[in-house]
């Protein structure tokens, strides 16, 4: 599941957030070559950010995908997401930084039981000391990891 996490110091109302979510979903799916039904986009507005020593409008992004990333794709994603942020939030592309994580299938996933027992999901948050930090969300199940 390709995931794009966006953080900006610009407050984002629900209408603009919806536009960004739609545009970014289409862009990520098309550029990476995965169905839109696999794409997740998160938009976090009003986050305190200092970039290049100022608090002028800025954004930070992370793309996490199981395959589909390479230098050409990353360049296309960078410019397309920067264009969306420029159009929707007036953030100059020089004030946008994005990181890419191409993870192995084993390092990412989710499992859903029939609903009567809850949902378990694993998310790789970020590289930490050469490894990965794992977050486990447990909806009432006893897990042994």
Active-site residues: which are they? Answer: 2
Show Cβ contacts of residue 32 under 8 Å, excluding neighbours closer than 6 positions. 2, 39, 65, 68, 69, 73, 77
Contact 45, 10 (CB under 8 A): yes
Six-digit token pair at 21? 């979510």
Contact 91, 117 (CB under 8 A): no
Contact 17, 43 (CB under 8 A): yes
What strands lie across the sheet with 59-65, from one edge to the other? 40-44, 3-8, 59-65, 96-102
């Amino acid at each position: 599941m390709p995931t794009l996490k966006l953080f900006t110091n610009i407050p984002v109302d629900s209408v603009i957030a919806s536009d960004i979510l739609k545009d970014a979903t289409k862009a990520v799916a098309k550029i990476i070559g995965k169905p839109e039904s696999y794409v997740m986009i998160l938009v976090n507005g009003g986050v305190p950010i200092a970039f290049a020593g100022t608090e002028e409008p800025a954004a930070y992004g992370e793309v996490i995908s199981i395959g589909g990333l390479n230098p050409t794709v990353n360049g296309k994603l960078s410019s397309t997401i920067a264009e969306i942020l420029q159009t929707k939030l007036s953030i100059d592309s020089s004030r946008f930084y994005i990181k890419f994580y191409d993870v192995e299938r084993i390092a990412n996933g989710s499992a859903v039981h029939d609903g009567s027992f809850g949902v378990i999901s694993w998310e790789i948050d970020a590289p930490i000391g050469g490894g990965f930090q794992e977050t486990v969300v447990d909806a009432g199940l006893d897990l042994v990891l």
